[in-house]
Amino acid sequence: MDLLVVDDGSKDGTSKTAETHGARCVTHPFNMGYGVALQTGYKYALNHNYDFLVQMDGDGQHDPSFISTLLDPVRSEQADVVIGSRFLAPSSNNTDAEKYKASFARRIGMRVFGSIASLCIRQWITDPTSGYQAMSNKVFYILAGDKFPVDYPDADVIIMLHRAGFRIREVPVRMFPSPDNKSMHSGLKPLYYIFKMLLSIFVTLLRK
């Protein structure tokens, strides 16, 4: 298994630490945002001819012990993209105390856009904002292109992939709150997020 770290213009020595521990690292010259960092990983995987990839955040929220849980349905060709959901029934090695607890505003956003995505793809999606995902090379070939919404790739990407004919599945995973309690949806950003997400979904539905 190869490990790639995308350093999105950090100033805390992320690249050096990652390389010291044997990871490959791609560094942005300055902070370009979450979506651009994701697409950098997709392009890297595409250019290096990988068959599958698993994406996860670097802030400690995603439990790496669930990598195989995400990857197995893709490897066995039961799904093209697998989303790790913190809201599905937890697996046997979870306890109630370990369940992920999002803020009220974030839960509302997840519920609204999860409902929209579920309606559009005719399949129930419980965690549309989960960044813990596995996918095949056919999927990241699409996501490496210019139709990928780099601002906030969430429910709109799920709808886009469904309309492109890909099979989507959710599996239960364990997630933890961000250690520093920081969120990219702070301040006035939630209002911008709602506007951009609705616009992106509308454009996605219009696109052939």
Average pLDDT over residues 128-156: 94
Q: In this prediction, what percent of the chain has a pLDDT beyond 90?
A: 70
Q: Does position 96 have pLDDT exceeding 70, yes or no?
A: no
Query: Do the beta carbons of residue 161 and residue 139 sit within 8 Å?
Result: yes
**In whole angstroms, how far apart are CA 18 and each of 3, 7, 51, 107?**
9, 9, 23, 32
pLDDT at residue 186, rounded to an integer: 55
Whole-prediction pTM = 0.87
Q: Which residues contact 68 (CB under 8 A, 6 or more apart)?
A: none
> In this predicted model, what pLDDT tens digit does every residue of 43-87 receive, in sequence order?
999 999 999 999 999 888 999 999 999 999 999 999 999 999 998
> In this predicted model, what pLDDT tens digit does every residue of 144-161 receive, in sequence order?
999 999 988 999 999 999
pLDDT at residue 101, rounded to an integer: 62
Rg (CA), the chain: 16
